[in-house]
Structure 1
């Protein structure tokens, strides 16, 4: 599945370069018109990253999320600084379909496992990594500014034990670069976790990238900047993904 992504910072559509808030690019799109365009182009779900909430949970753009859900008839997957069961349940009550959990899955693993046990169909484990050639892929948290020293594979196994279904993996050094995805990273993950619904994120720049990433056996690919900069449109991406 192709999942279009919109990163929102202070109500603006943006892209960060490798997650760096000091390297932010603003896009002059109407958020609701663009989301509707993705829907009409065939998208089945929309991925929203609340960058304001990721940087500071007190600044979560909850009113904007609520407005998106009301105006756009499309399932919403959202991430960005979600760190409590109350936030999860509030978002589900608003109508969010899936919620991405990243930092808390590393820093508060005991409690977070309870969330995944209770809401396994609605939660996505996010591992945002600095990839090091199949040996050790270090997870970063808190908007990718804090190193953890923790390995991606070990963490995924921890959550797989309690029924993990959805995994989102982002190569930080590829995100927002248009340099192409890290195919080796996703081949490595899908070999080890073939029964998970794995979403790949970071670096997609062309239809050729989509053709090639299908060979890694990921379930979905998140596309952000390439769509915003009209490298291809959502219909072309979906047609490529569906083509045998």
Structure 2
């Protein structure tokens, strides 16, 4: 399992939200590019970069920041937030994104997203399917769709090794531990996909649990920023398989 550090950007600042609520955010006095360099210097390879401004407004806001990080580090950066068109996908890939993260559009127009996957390949995309335990939420988790994750998967389950990042928003930013049973269930129902966990990770024991149930990866945000998990711990976990 790959443990992946995350940076959430709102108005050019690193932040963390509590359960996805923009009214409950914590700001961190860190320069995003400098922090990305620290991640690279620790020996890690991947970075999950979330454009919260783009997710909230419905259009990409922080693409230039992604480009700068891609140019100034050797990190494999995935980027999501506000992506709406094929032109957005092409532009982000040309600017250096390793993978493009598609969220709201997966629900709004899954056929279109499927056409992009067919055109560019499964390795170029991460689907961000975020749930409150009952239904998917989109547009920066501000809109409840009434559609379950399992229902939506009928559009994507035929793809092999498609990376799917699923956040239990009840856990996100809480430090209360990940929803391990949810990931166990999803992996059991859709074993051909690469499931990436997000939300609530506190320590290396949580990482071990997620690995044990078969997660392909895990995104770690707040625990890193608060010092509960270090970049060195992530590197050791990735290398040693602890």
TM-score, L = length of structure 1: 0.93
8 Å CA contact retained: 1:113, 1:162: no
Residue matched to 1:202:
199
8 Å CA contact retained: 2:136, 2:145: yes
Taking only aligned residues, the RMSD between alpha carbons, in angstroms, comes to 1.4
Deviations 1:81-132 (A, max 9, x none): 211111001000111010111100101122222112112220111110011x
What pairs with 1:73-112 in structure 2 (closer than 5 Å)? 73-112=74-113
Residue matched to 1:134:
none
Residue 207 to residue 164, structure 1, CA distance change in 2 (3 Å): closer
Q: Which of 123, 132, 136 in structure 2 is aligned with 1:121?
A: 123
Residue matched to 1:68:
69
Deviation at 1:57, TM superposition (A): 3.3
Gap regions ≥5 residues in structure 1: 132-136
Residue matched to 1:193:
190
Secondary structure in 2 matching 1:138: coil
Deviation at 1:28, TM superposition (A): 0.8
Deviation at 1:72, TM superposition (A): 1.6
Deviation at 1:157, TM superposition (A): 2.8
TM-score, L = length of structure 2: 0.94
| CA–CA separation in structure 2 for the residues paired with 1:153 and 1:44 | 31
Residue matched to 2:172:
175
Aligned length, in residue pairs:
239
Residue matched to 1:243:
241
| CA–CA separation in structure 2 for the residues paired with 1:45 and 1:59 | 21
| CA–CA separation in structure 2 for the residues paired with 1:212 and 1:110 | 34
User: Which shows bigger deviation, 161-170 or 99-108?
Assistant: 161-170
8 Å CA contact retained: 2:161, 2:192: no
8 Å CA contact retained: 2:3, 2:237: no
Q: Which of 204, 209, 213 in structure 2 is aligned with 1:212?
A: 209
Deviations 1:147-190 (A, max 9, x none): 11111012123112255611111001001111100001100011
